[in-house]
Amino acid sequence: MTNLLGRLTPFAIVFFAALALTLVLTPIVREMNRRLGMVDKPDPRRINKVPIPRGGGVALFLGLFGSFIVYVFATGSRWVGSGVGTHPVRVTALAGILFLIGLADDKWSLPPKLKLLGQIAVAFATWFWGGLGFSTLWPALPPAVDCVLTVFWIVGAVNAFNLIDGLDGLASGIALIATLGMAGSLMFVGKPDQTLFHFAFAGALVGFLRYNYNPASVFLGDSGSMLIGFLVATLPLATQTPNSFLVSVGVPMLAMGVPIFDTSLAILRRSIRHLILRHEKRSAAEGDSDRVMTADHDHLHHRILRATGLNQRRTAWILYLMTLVAVLIGLGGMMLKSRSAGLWLAAFAVGCVVMFRDMARVELFDAGRLLAAFARDRATASRRRWAKLSVPFYVVFDVLALVASFFVMLYAMQLPVTKLECRVALPIRTAASFALLVFLRTYMTVWSRAMTSNFARLLVACAAGAILGGIGVCCAPNIITDDVAAAEIAGATLVYFLVSFLLIASARLARPLVRDVFYAIDCSRLKGRKDVSRVLVYGAGLRYRAYRREFVRKTTANDRIIVGLLDDDILLRGQYIGGIKVYGTLMEAPEIINRVNADAVVIACEISDSWLKIVRQTLEPTGVKITHFNFTEKEI
């Protein structure tokens, strides 16, 4: 027991020393920065409602390095091997330089490009002068590649924590979880001595969180967020374990998962918006709103904040929990060893689900806006050129699909890929299927406006082509050797037909499918807006399909959303048509309108004057707007 306490004492000392010094320094720094005018004043881009001093990174820097340096000199401990790398003085100096760049930005608001240049310079010096990189993990890595990878890793982490620092205590809390997670990974591999600086860093973060947690009385500022990003990035580089990806890269990447994900989305989102605004040729009066490095209100914490009703604490804890789960997955992978790949796959799957849900309302919709803008604004001559290219595209795609179907057929039937198959069977099947596609005029169809009969013709062409190709293979010399081979060819023909039809039809269905996907994304986006008209459609037949098609075709210009259907066919109650639920009949309309909060009803069915009068009498007490979507044939 005494031996255990003796081993834990250094970690407790550095933790509580950094904690105490940061607790003392933060109020002093806060007041000093207030008098120097380093204050975040409320504006439409910021969340704080009162002026709050920034530049709290000064207290974090002094509390961490001050306490740790005093401990090293007071105890005579070895600084090298404590978690700061083989050149601790150099790494500390580089951290100080980056801290000063951030402090200058807190005071004078440096241009983003100048700040980025300083970050790159410090990151390069960390590799070249500080001796940190990925060479320990991957000794065969060329120096140039190691340099680029190290600079990208450090600059990415610095900007990730800089961007995530938008809520009280968010960046410092995530950094605390990440630091403890990295310390835990080192303990798992039997290197507790290298976690000494980690515990000092954790103590400083806890001390600063006392004043930075909601409601915050001081902000990190760029000096603090950039310092945190630099330390979180360099600590795993300084404590790399050969042949251990999880310790050196895996756990740190999972620990920084939230900032990395948010930064990636920000780059994607701002790049797309920049292209949109350039395409729309916005006036110069709008300033720099289209620049990639300009801040916006769609960071991950902003979205969760809106979803939680502007509750900063709840939002911060959601992101803390996400970070903690990611770290635990990494540590669990280290414990399970052989099953770690499965955990990583599970983490990746969860991340993809979260990513899609998060991107659906913003990034994917903006991408749709960009594509739609290019599609709408193309000149007539350009549209004609693209129309002429559609047939060659289908021809090339179909040939590739037929070749791919052949090899899928061989794999499914467990047939060997021999020279005879490739020289005889492949050309026969491909040529026969392509000939039937041409003979049945599938390339004369405008597939963007195709009907069921067109796909039936395509089905017949693929089936007939597969059968004709199968007959040709049977008649070819040296292919059939016995009855078993003939049976295999019959089964292979069926597989070839199914695969080829699915692949070829998928290319024809891609355009309407993409259009429907963007319409669903548009609906998801519109649900969160209060200025959108919520439409209840009466009639779920063919006219409703035509009405919905108009919505799908003008996705980015919609200011209405279909929230439900009414239909007098009681068998449709509770069913979904085009993703929209049929709630009931006209007689139940008043109750349904209140339930779905509709403010308009569109009649999308053939209706007589007498029944129209009944519709008006039924809906009039609700006060909703009533319109009739109709298409008629008139003699002119």
Per-residue model confidence as pLDDT tens digits over 601-630: 999 888 888 888 898 889 888 889 998 887
Residue 285: pLDDT band with limits 50, 70, 90: very low
Print burial letters for 421-448: b (CB count within 10 Å at least 16), e (below 16): beebbbebbbbbbbebbeebebeebebe
Q: Give whole-number Cα distances, 568 to 52, 398, 538, 561, 594, in Å.
A: 60, 44, 9, 22, 19
Tokens at 34, concatenated:
């207030």
Residue 256: pLDDT band with limits 50, 70, 90: confident
Q: What local confidence, expressed as pLDDT, does residue 398 receive?
A: 92
**What pTM was computed for the model?**
0.66
In the predicted model, is pLDDT for residue 235 greater than 70? yes
Mean pLDDT of 154-168: 91
Print burial letters for 166-179: b (CB count within 10 Å at least 16), e (below 16): bbbbbbbbbbbbbb
Q: What local confidence, expressed as pLDDT, does residue 351 receive?
A: 61
Q: What local confidence, expressed as pLDDT, does residue 299 receive?
A: 81
Residues 161, 232 contacting (CB under 8 angstroms)? yes
Q: What local confidence, expressed as pLDDT, does residue 432 receive?
A: 92
Q: What local confidence, expressed as pLDDT, does residue 239 receive?
A: 82
Mean pLDDT of 84-98: 87
In the predicted model, is pLDDT for residue 337 greater than 50? yes
Q: What local confidence, expressed as pLDDT, does residue 157 receive?
A: 93
Among the residue ranges 24-38, 313-327, 341-355, the one predicted with the least confidence is 341-355
| Max avg pLDDT among 128-137, 338-347, 377-386, 582-591 | 582-591
Q: What local confidence, expressed as pLDDT, does residue 117 receive?
A: 95
In the predicted model, is pLDDT for residue 202 greater than 60? yes
Residues 82, 249 contacting (CB under 8 angstroms)? no
In the predicted model, is pLDDT for residue 556 greater than 80? no
If one compares 36 and 351, the residue with the highest pLDDT of the two is: 36
For residues 315 and 258, give the distance between their C-alpha atoms in angstroms, rounded to a whole number: 13
Q: What local confidence, expressed as pLDDT, does residue 123 receive?
A: 96
In the predicted model, is pLDDT for residue 582 greater than 60? yes
Q: Give whole-number Cα distances, 389 to 162, 380, 437, 439, in Å.
A: 46, 14, 18, 20
If one compares 230 and 557, the residue with the highest pLDDT of the two is: 230
Residue 262: pLDDT band with limits 50, 70, 90: confident
Residue that the structure tokens 């720099």 belong to = 288
CB neighbourhood size of 410 (10 A):
20
For residues 499 and 462, give the distance between their C-alpha atoms in angstroms, rounded to a whole number: 10
If one compares 277 and 128, the residue with the highest pLDDT of the two is: 128
Residue 576: pLDDT band with limits 50, 70, 90: confident
Residue 359: pLDDT band with limits 50, 70, 90: low
CB neighbourhood size of 463 (10 A):
18
For residues 363 and 230, give the distance between their C-alpha atoms in angstroms, rounded to a whole number: 28
For residues 106 and 38, give the distance between their C-alpha atoms in angstroms, rounded to a whole number: 7
